[in-house]
Structure formats: C-alpha cells, structure tokens
Amino acid sequence: MARPLDIPLCLRRSLVVQEAAGRRLLGALRWAEDGAQAVRLFFATGVERADFGAESPPESGMRIAAGWGVGRGLALFGEAPGGSGSLRLALRGQVAELATTAPEPEPFAGLDVGLTLCNGEPAETVAEWIDWHVRSAGMTGALILDRRPPGPEADAFADALEAQAAGIAGLKRLMILSSPVPLGLEAPPESHPFTAPDAPGKDRMKVPANDPWTSPFGEPVVYELAKWRFLSRAAGVMNLECCELLLPAPEGVPGVFQAARAAAGGVLALHGGRAFPWRVRVGERPRFADHICRRFDNQDVHHRWCVAPSRAGLNNIWRAVRILNAAPDDAAARPFIRAMALRLPGRATAEIVPKTALVEDPALVAWAETQGHKPVRQPQSPRPARLPRAADAGYTAIVTTMKNEGPFILEWLAYHRVIGVERFLVYTNDCSDGTDALLDLLQSHGVVEHRDNPFRSLGLPPQHGALQAAENEPVIQGAGWAICMDVDEFINIHVGAGRLTDLYAAVGDANLISLTWRLFGNADIDRFDPEFMIAQFTRCAPKVVRKPHQAWGFKTLFRNLRIYKKIGVHRPKGLKPDLWEQIRWVNGSGQPMPKTMLRNGRSRPGAQLLVSHEFQRGRGPLDPAHDPRHARRVRPADGAAGGGGATCGLHRRASREDRQVVRPPGPGGVPRPAYQRAAAATLAPAWAFRGECLSRRARLRAGRGRLLRSGAGFLLHRAAPRQPARGALSLPLSPGRQPPPRHVRRGRAIPPRRLPALPAVRPVPRSPCGTSPARDCRYPGPTRARRAWLSRPRDVQSRRAAPPAGALR
C-alpha cells in the first residue's frame, strides 16, 4: 500500500467483478478489524437474501452477520477467519469460492470528495464540473465512476480528463473508477428523449433498443461499495452526477461540506430541479451556463446528499438519493440543477421539453453572466400595461363548425344571443340540408358570419382547419372573449340571471373560464317534436361521473389577450411561457386552475358553471352527429366522439334531470323560431316512417341501434316536400355542395359496398348525389343479423308497414 505522500494526483481503478453460482458479485472486500477479518460482499441486481445458506462451509469459517437490499442488489456484512486467501460461501445450494480485495481509503483520507457518475459526458464537461465545485464548494477530491465499456474510448476519456485535471487549482486527488460490466437497467439509452421525463410525444417515438452500458443507472449498491473501498476515511462526500451542478451559496453561508459536518446526523440534503437551455448555438457543445430556463408548471424535486462519514457513521447504507436511517433537515437543503442538455447531448430543446413550458430563471441568468458566458435568451413577448376586469373586456364571440344542422341552428343562436353572445363565426362543409343557405340568409341580416370551411386546402381535420382560419378573422381578433363550441352545446350559467355579464362580474379579473361538460341523454325520445331541444332533453348524467373520460372534459371561454398563440377545440393552445404569470384561469366553481393545466390538459371538473353537451338529439336520423361526414369527423370511426361508441351507454343511463338551462334567460323567454316550426311540419311524416324502419333494423341488431347512424343529409334529400309548409322559409338545397360520393373508413378512401335492399312497398327514389339509401349506411357490409333476416322466406320478409302518406314519395 502506497503512503499518502506518494499517491499521485490521478488514479485509475476498476471494479473487481466475479461470477458466483450464476450471480454477479461487483466487489468483495476483506480487512482486519478488532482481531478478526471483516468481509463486505456487494452483489448486483438479481440476488436475494434467501439465496444464501444460514451458514457458510465449515472449512471457510465465514459468518454472515447482516444483509441489506440496495435497490435490487444486496450488500452482505460478515466475518471470516484470519489470514488471506479466498472465501467460500454457500450460495443457491452451491459452494462459491470468492476472491477478495483490500480497501483503499488512503487516497481520499481527510478530503472533501465529489462522488459522481459519468454516463458518456465528454472530458470537457466533467472537468468543468470538477473545477466549479472546487472553486465554489471547496471540493478537494473527485471519484468518477465512468460507465463507458473498456476500450480505446474509455482510455481516451481518462487521458483527456487527467490532462485537464492537472490544471485545476485546489484539486488534490482524482480517481477514475471503471467497470468491466454494464451497470445500467435493461432500458433504452439515457441520452434518448424516451428516457427524459419532460420529453413530448413519447407515444409517437420509435423506442431504441435496450443498452445497459448507456441506460439509466441500475446498480445503486455501487455507492455502498465505493464507501467501503475508497471513502470510509473521507472528511465529506457529496453525491451528484456529472450533469448536476451545485448552485453557489449566498454570501456568508458555509459550503456544503462544512454544513454537512455541522448538521445533526452529519447529513445535508441536496434538492435539485431540471434546467434547460433555450437554445444551444450551432456548432457549440452545451455548457452548464446555457441552462437558464426551468419549467413553470413542474415542481419535481431530485434528491441527493452530502455526508460527513465520521459524523453519520459507516453502517448507514448509502443509496443514490438518500442515506438509510438519516433524516436531514429539508429546510436546510442546498439547491442544484440537472442540466438536461448535458444529459441528452445533441438534442434540440424542443425534443426534451415542451418549449411552451419554459421560463427564464433570473438566478440562473445572473449566474451564467458571472461565468463569462452569454447564453441564448428566451424571446420576450409584449406585455399589456394592465389586465382589465372580465366584465370590461368587450364583446363575446363563438366560433363553430356545422354540417347539416339546419333544424337546430336558430334555437342555439337565439339562446346564446339572449345570454350575451354578440358575434358568431360559423364554418360549414358539405351541407346537403340547406344549412349553408340558412346561414347565408342570417349573415345578410347581420346575425352570423358564415364561411366555407377551408380544411381540405389546409390538410387538416374540419374542426382544426376552421379554427386555424378563424384566427385571422376580424370578428375573432376584435373579440374580448371567445370560445369554440358545437351546436349541441349550451352555456348554462348558474349565477345571477344566467347571463354572461353575471358570470364576468362573478369571476373578477379572470381571463380564462372553464365550462365543464355535463352529458345529456336522448330522454327516450324517438319522434321529432318542434319543442325546444333544451326543453325536451333534460335527462343527464350525475354531476360527478368517473367514466367515461368524456364526462370530465370542458370547453374554455378565454380573453383575447394574445397569451396563447392559437385557438383550440377545448382550450387555447400554444402558451407564450413568459406570460404565464398573467393567466387568471378559474374552473367551473370559480377556483384557480393548477399550473399543470395552463399549458395543456382538457379534463378537470368544475361545479358552478356547466356546458350542457347533448351528444344525441334523440334516436332518430335527424341527429347530424351520426353523419359519417360530420363537420367534426374525418373518418367513420370518430363516431365515438360524437354520439356513439363510448358515450352511447352513458346517454342511455342518464339518471338525473336538469331543467335549469330551460329557464327563460330574459323577460318573456325566447320566441320559437319560424324555421323550426316549418321544419317540424316538413319533416314530421318522414321522421315517423324512417324511425319505424330504423327501429325494426335496430331490433335485428340486438338493440344496439347501429343503423341509426345513417347520414342526416340522405334523409333530408328525400324528405323535402314538393310544396313547403305554410310559414316555412323557402331554402335551396345548395347545389354543388352535395356530400362526396365516397367516404373515408379507417384512414383510407374506399367505395362503400351496397347492402341488399329491403323489400319495399313503394320505390324509394335515388338521392340527388346519386347514392341509394343502402349506400348511405355507415357500415358498408351486411351484418350477421341482416344476412339471417335475408335468408328467411320472402313472405316473412315482406311483412312491414306501409309508409304514411306524404313520406318519401
């Protein structure tokens, strides 16, 4: 053993790894202690205390005194007879012969040591880590566990680090500890975004192959091995990784090693958070001083420690994030940062964290300047001089998408005009029932702003294409408040007289208000009724519904303050992170929303302010949400979001009644629209006959009613009478806007197959778009029940009711 004065500045050591009875031993230490031979065995992952016999073979004389699980590894403490030579140990029914080594505490005796893991960081980064902690924390020694596989790369790293360490004033000892075996988990590399806790889009990533040489560290028993082999006589030990940097202590505050020796129990807690650069300059390697940003919506704390072994004792197990049986004072914890661009080198910031969540940390910016580095700063958005109260913001506007919503538009417009909505921006596509003609008429009277939906030219789904176009419309740019809503949603305000002015007065200075969904069912209505929908469909789900997840959604009324970059279906998107402190977002109860909801998220309950979201308007074919080419869909499978699939069962189970939205929102209520009366007289015979046909088919489908999802446009093409009813508005059928003759199924366009036609008493004419009733069915192929029905005798098949007079002629 070399004397301390003869120990060079830089040392290299390696773990002495052995295989014993199919289990991996990372180290076996043996030394003389109190007249006996103390033994410490450190097994890698996969070893359990039950694998060892109660007693060792008699000829070895070894006795196991204690065993501790460290992660998924195991540390065994015991005694052996005097002398040297190998140990014999009973392991898994076999006798394992183990070679032992002696501890080497002399190189770090009396030094304040930084114990760190290096997982691929370059020598320049490790040298920067050592230099900073020598200057700021008084560190005098460094023990680097290099996880590179043995070979030229590991040798080149050690040579480069030793060369740079020679120029660090105050450093007295550097030891590079290598391993002949991988020490990581069976997981992808730690430098891949898949392993980064903040990386967006993990569900779309191609997961790389597992690589235990570079994956996250998986053998925490190495900390205990390092303590007994090298650090038992160190004055202090600080545990940080090479990508983690201790922040400077305030003026007059002792360093971490002094604080650990003064702390009760000899342990000082270190608490850290992840830091990110806004951008690393092209061609430059990331540095600690580039990391000037943090997430405003994340409070994750990473735990490390600094210990004085002489005060804390050596029998307390060292783990990666804590020391067993130690209870450090969290109030006295020292801060550090985890530099994520060093953990994931070569990755753009947007790959490892959503940039909309990043804000500059003034303390990190000031520290970077003291290091003589100029990091790339975050762009600053213009800030309004003051935030006016909600009631003083200006008019409220709704942007919506429609397709074949004709019979229901006027009631929806009238209701929201009465509660205080002043402007409406409506986008339509592929209407075949006169919806677009009605909206053109309303636009000529200044009631709405009607636009064709440009989603095809934008290459987006219909609703997203409309919202992107709406951002450039003056009616939205000039609005004080805005919201994206559908025609089957009604804002139900529970304060005051139920108007928006009452709501804005109640929320004070809020600039975003979440309107929680409450799902309404079909109320067992299967006939068209000219009454208001809000008066007919009053059966709803309870206020607290655990499943399905749609019941926890919400829509958002938002102030037009340019805090967000674009309009979203459920909430504004693209937060400008430097403006997050100006957000005043309340839920349906008027309580502030948590920070985690400011950037994304669309599922949080509220109680006082509700949106009645009627997914179904009864079980008949006038429900546009059943249209395979509905304005909110791009493929038939999307039906689960618009009235079928996941929510149908809930609508049928609507066990509560809510009539609050039916109350007259103003003196005298809202007069029934003339168009709704005309629609009732026009479509009632067709409704009755079509409902009878569909109910027969539904019974053949075991009561699930899957054929009820046929397109509303198909029915209305056939239901239009030759002469309009008295008092009805004469509207054209929008030539040139018929639905496309093909529809999309499962992401690819396919021509629908023809179902065998039901025998009819009267011939059914073809629709103007050239398709038959069977081709408008959502499910192109005949089902098992349909084929069984067709196999019956013809006289049985022909037993069906004749259509009423005036229907489908």
Select the more confidently predicted residue: 313 or 776.
313
* For residue 723, pLDDT beyond 60: no
What whole-number distance in Å separates Cα of residue 343 and Cα of residue 501? Answer: 51
**Percentage with pLDDT > 90 across the chain:** 38
The pLDDT score that the predictor gives to residue 702 is: 40
Across the range 573-586, mean pLDDT stands at 78
Give the other-Cβ count within 10 Å of 720's Cβ.
Answer: 16
Closest of 4, 8, 90 to residue 49, by C-alpha: 90
169-183, 456-470, 506-520, 794-808: range with lowest mean pLDDT: 794-808
Closest of 72, 96, 76, 77 to residue 86, by C-alpha: 96
326-340, 363-377, 656-670: range with lowest mean pLDDT: 656-670
**DSSP type of residue 316:** S
* Angle CA 737–738–741, to nearest 5: 135
Task: At 568, list the tokens.
Answer: 């979203």
Q: How confident is the model at residue 274 (pLDDT cuts 50, 70, 90)?
A: very high
Across the range 89-100, mean pLDDT stands at 79
The pLDDT score that the predictor gives to residue 790 is: 54
Domain ranges of the chain: 17-98, 106-370, 674-797
Across the range 354-373, mean pLDDT stands at 92
The pLDDT score that the predictor gives to residue 547 is: 67
Task: At 519, list the tokens.
Answer: 């799902």
Q: How confident is the model at residue 806 (pLDDT cuts 50, 70, 90)?
A: very low
What whole-number distance in Å separates Cα of residue 554 and Cα of residue 593? Answer: 13
Q: What is the mean pLDDT of the chain?
A: 76
Determine contact, residues 599/295, Cβ cutoff 8 Å. no
The pLDDT score that the predictor gives to residue 85 is: 65
The pLDDT score that the predictor gives to residue 135 is: 95
The pLDDT score that the predictor gives to residue 707 is: 36
Q: What are the distances in angstroms from CA 585 to CA 180, 513, 596, 806? A: 55, 6, 12, 54
The pLDDT score that the predictor gives to residue 533 is: 80
- Residue count of the chain, please give it: 809
Q: How confident is the model at residue 139 (pLDDT cuts 50, 70, 90)?
A: very high
Closest of 739, 765, 759, 763 to residue 800, by C-alpha: 759
Across the range 175-183, mean pLDDT stands at 96
AA identity, residue 352: I
The pLDDT score that the predictor gives to residue 400 is: 93
* For residue 536, pLDDT beyond 70: yes
Residue owning tokens 């994030």: 321
Determine contact, residues 728/530, Cβ cutoff 8 Å. no
Determine contact, residues 59/86, Cβ cutoff 8 Å. no
Across the range 93-113, mean pLDDT stands at 90
The pLDDT score that the predictor gives to residue 181 is: 96
Which range of 214-218, 353-357, 479-483, 509-513 scores highest in mean pLDDT? It is 214-218
253-262, 302-311, 492-501, 658-667: range with lowest mean pLDDT: 658-667
* For residue 677, pLDDT beyond 50: no
* For residue 656, pLDDT beyond 60: yes
The pLDDT score that the predictor gives to residue 303 is: 96
* For residue 560, pLDDT beyond 50: yes
* For residue 613, pLDDT beyond 50: no
**DSSP type of residue 343:** H
Closest of 165, 175, 119, 166 to residue 142, by C-alpha: 175
Q: How confident is the model at residue 648 (pLDDT cuts 50, 70, 90)?
A: very low
Across the range 186-200, mean pLDDT stands at 93
* For residue 300, pLDDT beyond 80: yes
The pLDDT score that the predictor gives to residue 643 is: 35
Q: How confident is the model at residue 214 (pLDDT cuts 50, 70, 90)?
A: very high
Q: How confident is the model at residue 91 (pLDDT cuts 50, 70, 90)?
A: confident
Query: Tell me: the pLDDT tens digits for 8-50?
Result: 899 999 999 998 878 899 999 988 887 778 889 999 998 877 7
361-370, 462-471, 575-584: range with lowest mean pLDDT: 575-584
The pLDDT score that the predictor gives to residue 754 is: 46
* For residue 649, pLDDT beyond 60: no
What whole-number distance in Å separates Cα of residue 673 and Cα of residue 678? Answer: 9
Q: How confident is the model at residue 255 (pLDDT cuts 50, 70, 90)?
A: very high
What does DSSP say about strands 141-146 and 112-118: parallel, antiparallel, or unpaired? parallel
Task: Give the helix, strand, coil percentages of the chain, each rounded to 5.
Answer: 30, 20, 50
For the entire predicted model, the pTM comes to 0.67
What phi and psi values does residue 51 have, to the nearest 5 degrees? -70, -15
Across the range 493-503, mean pLDDT stands at 86
First-to-final CA distance of the chain: 107
Across the range 373-378, mean pLDDT stands at 92
Q: Is the peptide bond before 548 cis (omega within 30 degrees of 0)?
A: yes
The pLDDT score that the predictor gives to residue 548 is: 66
Judge residue 306's burial from the number of C-beta atoms within 10 Å of its C-beta, 0-12 exposed, 13-18 middle, 19 or more buried: buried
Which range of 466-475, 685-694, 744-753 scores highest in mean pLDDT? It is 466-475
What whole-number distance in Å separates Cα of residue 713 and Cα of residue 689? Answer: 16
The pLDDT score that the predictor gives to residue 731 is: 41
**Percentage with pLDDT > 70 across the chain:** 69
What phi and psi values does residue 352 have, to the nearest 5 degrees? -110, -10
* Angle CA 721–724–730, to nearest 5: 115
Q: How confident is the model at residue 171 (pLDDT cuts 50, 70, 90)?
A: very high
AA identity, residue 402: M
The pLDDT score that the predictor gives to residue 732 is: 41
